[in-house]
Structure 1
Amino acid sequence: MIVVDPDFVRLMRRLRQEHGMSFRDLAKKAYFSRSYLWEIENGKKQPSLHLVKALDTCLNAEGQLIRLVTTAPDDQETPPLSRSGSSGDGPDHDVEPWRTHPTWPAPVGGPALVNESQWAQVAIMLYDVFVRSRPPLKRLGPDRYASLRRQDLTPFAVEAAMQGRAPHVECRAVSCQEAPSDVAALLSLNLDDAVVLRENRYLADGEPVQLGHTYLPTSVVGTSALATDRDLGPGGTFAALERLGYRTARIREQVTARFPTRHEAAALNLPPGVPVIVLLHASFDSAGFPFEATRYIMRSDAMAVQYMATIAA
């Protein structure tokens, strides 16, 4: 159990104001939401140890904030925390509603095995570890397909390296099958037309962050390595396609979100309750021919999609 000295919130507020930092500024540095930080500073919620250490660093407290937080045995009663909900008294309304303490019914004929405060601490700890511990890996939109920037690396490897992450791609299977209806439409195929399916898993710093199901028309890949081999060598799929004469000149991407299937959750090591970002991508050559489509399944707690576009006059 975490015990917070009343001086913690006063010192946090004073340091934040002395540094001229808004809640938005502090949220960007600490990787916690503005609403959560506002609730901590106003005594609405208790901070986790991970947050305390992050605030001490971001506010240059030199250990002052850390010394105001101690731990106590779990059998001591936890002070009640008020629920701000979405009352509108904070700087924004993006409060994580699942952080409020649930009421757990006791088993018939006996006491509850785990008390409410213990469940709350576990939930906050898990969220801090899996969601807030680092900034998301950004998918850099059209820039990731620029040939000159790849330098014999896959687009994923380029963008991961640019963000200080160690990339790794696993090709888990290569098969030939009919294309799903939405993919067939993107590739201008009939529903019974066969495609080569390449199933990849992408990891950053050893952590799985996305899955990729790449569909390639058999008329494009023929009997090349794309149709048979898991290891395509430097540059991966797009370099192999360029060697066949298919260079990406235009892309089309559609982004949606949903909860993962059991297979996806297991492959991505997803914590319970974390949705996935689904990005359906298609590549076109300079003549407008669609030669590749990929459905990316991304961890919403570990990846973000970033685009920049020029607005026509």
Structure 2
Amino acid sequence: MVVVDPDFVRLMRRLRQEHGMSFRDLAKKAYFSRSYLCEVENGKKPPSLHLAKALDACLNAEGQLTRLVTTGPDDQEPESRSRSAATVDCPDRGVEAWRTHPTWSAQIGGPALVNESQWAQVATMLYDIFVRSRPPLTRLGPDRYAGLSLRRQDLTPFAAEAAMQGRAPRVECRAVSRQQAPRDIAALLSLNLGDAVVLRENRYLADDEPVQLGHTYLPTSVVGTSTLATDRDLGPGGTFAALKQLGYRTARIREQVITRFPTRDEAEKLKLPPGVPVIVLLHASYDNDGFPFEATRYIMRSDAMRFQYLATVAA
């Protein structure tokens, strides 16, 4: 049995407000769901000893909250109690196998999750992340390269679809360089291994929230000495408008999608919370003659992006 001093709620509220933290801010730091923290502070649910320790650490309380929570001898064993919490807080019980994946701690760049109680914290955080009040930004598939760009000549495909969904888009070009084409990119662009390409590295934001990275590879035979090979700022329309000026129009696309955990660099650039995977989309553009003139590897936040494709099915 858990015994909670009535002062716990008042102290929790005071410390949170003194630190200027919202429930969302506290949830990200403590790895408990925002809704659970709100219910605890409002006295609707009792705090666990584990939560008290987490809040002490997040709010620099030096054990004040932990001392207000005591456990009796007839408590459940810690392992069974935390297993119950994981079952309630996690919306998908199938994640148990994912939790035990050997590369988990290396991928998220944090300490190893060594017990069920710690996993319960991460599970509640993931639930709070994925069940968002604001819908993810929808990537509109082939339409982004046809209808949208035709209707909004001054916008990039990303900016056009973001604007249609009421989001404020922004694209940052972080680097332009010449590189050897990676093996999969060389195959997509029908290049030989070792052939040079121009690499443009972009970060895409919606409402100032980073939602995806894009590494665009362009054959040197396509871009030559144009602004695509030298300038970060390409002006209205971005990469596809500049390619269009060179005579390359998208007639067909090919896309391949996988999911994985982010690298440390990707997680930092996308400001990803721990444990959130990314969607990797490998895209290639072809002209009317079937010539591949552009390939992009997009790295997308799985909690902030979703896909929509419409296709005609032959009878």
TM-score, scaled relative to structure 1? 0.66
CA deviation string 1:151-199 (max 9, x = no partner): 2101111111122211110000000111011111111111121110000
State which of 33, 44, 48 in structure 2 corresponds to 1:70: 44
Where does 1:228-239 land on structure 2 (aligned, <5 Å)?
A: 228-239=230-241
Calculate the aligned-residue CA RMSD, in Å: 3.6
Counterpart of 2:205 in 1: which secondary structure?
strand
Q: Any conservation in 2 of the 1:131–1:302 contact (CA below 8 Å)?
A: no
How much does 1:126 deviate?
A: 6.5
Q: Any conservation in 2 of the 1:250–1:284 contact (CA below 8 Å)?
A: yes
Structure 2 vs 1, CA of residues 117 and 184 (structure 1 numbering), >3 Å: closer, same or farther?
closer
Structure 2 vs 1, CA of residues 125 and 279 (structure 1 numbering), >3 Å: closer, same or farther?
closer
Where does 1:281-296 land on structure 2 (aligned, <5 Å)?
A: 281-296=283-298
Counterpart of 2:44 in 1: which secondary structure?
strand
How much does 1:127 deviate?
A: 4.6
How much does 1:277 deviate?
A: 0.7
What residue identity is the alignment partner of 1:132? Answer: R
What residue identity is the alignment partner of 2:139? Answer: R
Distance 1:251 1:125 in 2: 37
2:259 is matched with which residue? 257
Distance 1:247 1:236 in 2: 13
Q: Any conservation in 2 of the 1:199–1:212 contact (CA below 8 Å)?
A: yes
Query: Which sits farther off after the overlay, 126-135 or 176-185?
Result: 126-135
Structure 2 vs 1, CA of residues 153 and 50 (structure 1 numbering), >3 Å: closer, same or farther?
farther
* Count, aligned residues: 239
How much does 1:250 deviate?
A: 0.5
Where does 1:69-218 land on structure 2 (aligned, <5 Å)?
A: 70=44, 74=52, 75-76=68-69, 83=84, 94-95=92-93, 97=95, 120=120, 124-125=124-125, 127-129=127-129, 132-146=132-146, 147-218=149-220
Where does 1:39-78 land on structure 2 (aligned, <5 Å)?
A: 48-49=34-35, 70=44, 74=52, 75-76=68-69
Q: Report which of the two has the higher share of helix.
A: 2
CA deviation string 1:109-159 (max 9, x = no partner): xxxxxxx98985686356525763432211110000013133210111111
Counterpart of 1:159 in 2: which secondary structure?
helix
How much does 1:97 deviate?
A: 4.1
Structure 2 vs 1, CA of residues 257 and 71 (structure 1 numbering), >3 Å: closer, same or farther?
same
Structure 2 vs 1, CA of residues 118 and 96 (structure 1 numbering), >3 Å: closer, same or farther?
same
2:246 is matched with which residue? 244
How much does 1:49 deviate?
A: 2.5
CA deviation string 1:258-298 (max 9, x = no partner): 11111111111111121111100000111111100000011
Distance 2:276 2:122 in 1: 16
2:222 is matched with which residue? 220
2:59 is matched with which residue? none
Distance 2:296 2:180 in 1: 14
Counterpart of 2:84 in 1: which secondary structure?
coil
Counterpart of 1:237 in 2: which secondary structure?
helix
Distance 1:152 1:81 in 2: 54
Counterpart of 1:83 in 2: which secondary structure?
helix
CA deviation string 1:48-74 (max 9, x = no partner): 527989xxxxxxxxxxxx9x9636674
Q: Any conservation in 2 of the 1:249–1:286 contact (CA below 8 Å)?
A: yes
Q: Any conservation in 2 of the 1:169–1:203 contact (CA below 8 Å)?
A: yes
What residue identity is the alignment partner of 1:70? Answer: K
Distance 1:282 1:238 in 2: 12
Structure 2 vs 1, CA of residues 96 and 167 (structure 1 numbering), >3 Å: closer, same or farther?
farther
What residue identity is the alignment partner of 1:294? Answer: T
TM-score, scaled relative to structure 2? 0.65
Identity of aligned residues (%): 75
Counterpart of 1:309 in 2: which secondary structure?
coil
Structure 2 vs 1, CA of residues 145 and 51 (structure 1 numbering), >3 Å: closer, same or farther?
farther
Counterpart of 1:279 in 2: which secondary structure?
strand
What residue identity is the alignment partner of 2:141? Answer: G
CA deviation string 1:72-128 (max 9, x = no partner): 674346996883988xxxxxx834747xxxxxxxxxxxxxxxxx9898568635652
Distance 2:38 2:312 in 1: 41
